[in-house]
Amino acid sequence: MDQGQSALFELSGVTKAYRVRAGIFRQPRPFDAIRNIDLRLVPGVSYGLVGESGSGKSTLAGILIGLIQPTCGTVKFEGQGLSDLLRLNSRYFRNNVQMVFQNPYLSLDPRWTVRKIMEEGIGQLSAREKSMRLSESLELVRLPGEFLKRKPRELSGGERQRVAIARALVMRPEFLILDEPTSQLDVSIQAQVINLLQEMLDKLKVGLLFISHDLALVSQIAQEIVVMHRGEIVEKGLKPRILSSPASFYTRQLLNSIPPWP
């Protein structure tokens, strides 16, 4: 799918190692949260990153967004080293790459109104431009304008996650990273959020990395699937191929764990 397209993100040999202590009297030992990651993400494509808890998914997301520095390897955004870009022009990167975090209860400041939460990153715009951006973003997540007056504590879990997505969209990013965005929601609300994301992708043509431990959920939205296990990418490719003829034993285990339709 990405043949001939310029990469938005390009990772080569990326490893993140931590030093952990196995016991009180033992010396810290290195632990690779992720190891030798090679990954190429192109604009306008929806990717699913799937793996069990502890597989390294969130570490990889943190590296992509610039919150975690890799121990070794290179991370490029639009052909430029990400660390250099963040040092020289972090606003450009933050405008083009946004992240929606797992827990909507923790990612929104409870003291602020939805308006203030959404306006935080667009302070440089005029009042008229801000108003247009807020209206457009709320419309994309199907929330009425009166929500701008509310505070997070007045919203349901699904509404909070919609606000978190709208806050990311107000920046008009080129790429969204969503780290387990539905794991705190019940099944019916999960379905609503997935449908919302599918509609949004059709309208905006924005690129997306959807991170989850649930392959069935990922397969609803991803065009390409990346499978992680114990800190490594064990398989990646177009969704039809991954679902019909997985090459990795771990991917086959994930597929076998999906409950059959009644």
Pick from 47, 63, 37: nearest CA to 2: 47
Residue pLDDT, tens place only, 232-259: 999 999 999 999 999 999 999 999 887 7
* Calpha distance 136→242 (Å, rounded): 35
Query: 194 pLDDT band (50/70/90 cuts)?
Result: confident
In whole angstroms, what is the distance from residue 169 CA to residue 204 CA? Answer: 10
**Measuring CA to CA, which residue among 33, 41, 32, 34 is closest to residue 11?**
41
Task: Let me know: does 225 contact 219? Beta carbons within 8 Å.
Answer: yes
What does the block give as tokens for 80?
A: 């430029």
Predicted confidence at residue 140, as pLDDT, reads 86
Per-residue pLDDT, 4: 61
Mean pLDDT of the chain: 88
pLDDT of residue 86: 94
Of 188, 194, 200, give the one whose Cα is nearest residue 219: 194
The beta strand positions in the chain, using DSSP E, are 9-20, 29-41, 46-50, 72-77, 80-81, 97-100, 175-179, 207-212, 224-229, 232-238
The full set of domain ranges for the chain reads 9-256
Q: For strand 80-81 and strand 72-77, is the pairing parallel, antiparallel, or unpaired?
A: antiparallel
Assign domain 9-256 to its CATH architecture. 3-Layer(aba) Sandwich (3.40)
Predicted confidence band of residue 3 (pLDDT cuts 50, 70, 90)? low
Angstrom distance (rounded) from CA 181 to CA 223? 18
Percent of the chain with pLDDT over 90: 53
Q: What is the band of 24 on the pLDDT scale with cuts at 50, 70, 90?
A: low
DSSP characters over 10-40: EEEEEEEEEEE-SSTTSPPEEEEEEEEEEEE
CB 26 within 8 A of CB 221: no
| pTM of the predicted model as reported, rounded to 2 decimal places | 0.89
The whole-number pLDDT of residue 122 equals 83
- The number of residues making up the chain comes to 262
Please give the Cα distance from 85 to 76 (Å, whole number).
9
Collapse the DSSP code of 88 into the 3-class scheme (helix H, G, I; strand E, B; otherwise coil) and give the result. helix
pLDDT at 18 (0 to 100): 87
35 CB-near residues (< 8 Å, 6+ apart): 15, 56, 231, 232
